[in-house]
Structure 1
Amino acid sequence: MNPFEMVKNLKNIESQMKTMKEELANLEVTGSAGGNMVQVTLNGQFEIKAVKIDPIAVDPRDVPMLQDLIVAAHHDALDKVQEQIKAKAGPMLGGFPGL
């Protein structure tokens, strides 16, 4: 893409980025682990909005397992948010080298 064309389109890109930022603020994605025993919901700004834990996952003798499930569910949710960001931003970033 011609760099001069990119400069001409900066206002359009800026508008699209603002719209995408608003969409991401409203986005909610849930990641899970342990067969949905632990679920973590994030918004598009990577903030934790909710954590759900099935009572069956709460074993006082195995707290480390529950901790691992929470971390795994969080990572799953992060991956899903990043996929959504790539899907929404991909067309805008397609013209930038290295992205």
Structure 2
Amino acid sequence: MQAKIAKMQEDLRQKTVEATSGGGMVRVTCNGQQEILGIAIDPELLEEKDVEMLQDLILVAVNEALKRSRELAQEELAKITGGLSIPGL
């Protein structure tokens, strides 16, 4: 089972999830290892020069991407463990 989990963790590094905020004006890509791979900001949003709004939109998109990444990891782990909860994983 340890080998399967190690393989799953490596596979998660290759899988990505994406989250958006502001109607798609901010887009964050994250892998299954909860690493942020990219942040894209619509140039129109920068023209508004509302720093607080931009910060909020980035925060929302990053948190959603990390949440989706954790969910992806849990789904993949459930495939290996058959849904059993294993402490520490």
Picking from 22, 37, 48, the partner of 2:25 is 37
Q: Which runs of 5+ in 1 are unaligned?
A: 1-12
**Normalising by the residue count of structure 1, what TM-score does the alignment of the two structures yield?**
0.77
State the shift of 1:95 in Å: 5.3
How many residues align structurally?
A: 85
1:35-69 C-alpha deviation (Å, 9 max, x unpaired): 11100111122111111101121121x11000100
Say if 2:55 is the partner of 1:85.
no
Q: Which residue number in structure 1 is paired with residue 12 of structure 2?
A: 24
Q: Which runs of 5+ in 2 are unaligned?
A: none
Q: Aligned partners of 1:42 and 1:65: how far apart in 2?
A: 22
Q: 1:66 to 1:15 in 2, by over 3 A?
A: same
Larger radius of gyration: 1
Q: TM-score, normalised by structure 2?
A: 0.85
Deviations 1:1-25 (A, max 9, x none): xxxxxxxxxxxx1011011011111
Correspondence 1:68 to 2:56: yes
Shift of 1:96: 3.4
In 2, Cα distance between the equivalents of 1:73 and 1:96? 30
Partners in 2 of 1:46 and 1:38 — Cα distance?
Answer: 18
Q: Alignment RMSD, CA only?
A: 1.7
| Matches of 1:55 and 1:84, distance apart in 2 | 30
Runs of 4+ in 1 over 3 A off after TM superposition: none
Please state whether the residue corresponding to 2:27 is helix, strand or coil. strand
